Amino acid sequence: MVDKRKTPADEVVIAGRGLHTGEVAEVRIRPVAPGEGRFFVRMDLPDAPVIRARATFVADTTRSTTLANGDTKIRTPEHLLAALAMMDVDDARIELTGPEVPILDGSALPWAEALARVGLSAAYAPRLETTLEAPIWIPSMEGGFVAAVPSPELRFSCGIAFDAAPIGEQWFSFVASPERFLRDIAPARTFGTLADVEMMRARGLLAGANLDVGIVCDQTRWLNGPLRFPEEPARHKLLDFVGDLSLVDPLPRAHYLAFKAGHALHVRLARRLLEGG
């Protein structure tokens, strides 16, 4: 049976503070017609400019992903986009009253739970499904990589390696489904070391950060545990990976892998996929 494109069955409204700007914004996710895709609308700006959730609109990847259309920007959409993609939302109008998507508790769980509550409306239009035909490998100068290999199932695997002992080296792998996403990936919160937090604040970032929007460790222990999972940092990196790859629509069925990667490397892979590999 051919799968159908889906949109939220009702509106989802959530407000909160942006992680880096510290600005409060309301997000309103609205149903749209099949085939419109996922797109943002800056309701706080004149003429309500639109930015499509596509890798071609990525303007910056410094500590988060930033989408832009001309002078209009939207920062840190990756958690929300991961929730939309993994909860099977193909088409959605995402209205935003500020420059940054709220960080909430640092995870995608509030988005995913809200989408699960309202449910989905299946359209008459079929969902286009594609498969990856040949492997893709993109290394980084720092010893990391992103890759995609042909696979009979949509799978994401992510590894990280940090000097800080509480994080160390971790891997997590996930076969995509709404149920698994809600249980295994969406609850994983953003994380960092105390040294990184102090460095970013010195650069004018993390204006909306506190110990309620992520987990922080020093070189020996977590400062605001307990963790939701033993490998919560790796799961969160996987969440970011999924969010950035959702900027490819449709995302070919494949096994996607990342190790010691960040938003810049994720987006390089996304753009390669848009180019056809």
Structural domains of the chain ordered from first start: 4-126 (3.30.230.20), 136-274 (3.30.1700.10)
Beta sheet of 38-42, edge-to-edge order: 12-17, 24-30, 92-96, 38-42, 50-52
Instruction: State the pLDDT at residue 34.
Output: 94
Query: Annotated catalytic, 255?
Result: no
- In 3D space, the residue among 25, 258, 31 whose CA is nearest the CA of residue 146 turns out to be 258
Q: What is the mean pLDDT of each run of 10 residues along the chain (277 residues)?
A: 87 96 96 96 98 98 95 98 98 98 97 98 87 97 96 98 96 98 98 88 78 91 95 98 97 98 98 89
Q: Is the peptide bond before 99 cis (omega within 30 degrees of 0)?
A: no
Give binding residues as ranges: 79, 236, 240
- Catalytic residue, chosen from 20, 255, 263, 266, is 263
The structure tokens 């797109």 sit at: 39
Provide φ and ψ at 205, rounded to 5°: -95, 175
Residues 6+ apart with CB under 8 A from 214: 103, 106, 189, 190, 191, 192
Instruction: State the pLDDT at residue 277.
Output: 66
Give binding residues for Zn(2+) as ranges: 79, 236, 240
Per the structure block, which two tokens stand in for 254?
């494949």
Question: Radius of gyration over alpha carbons of the chain, in Å?
Answer: 18
Instruction: State the pLDDT at residue 1.
Output: 52
| C-alpha distance across the termini of the chain, in Å | 28
- The model's pTM: 0.96
Instruction: State the pLDDT at residue 123.
Output: 79
- In 3D space, the residue among 95, 155, 84, 146 whose CA is nearest the CA of residue 120 turns out to be 84
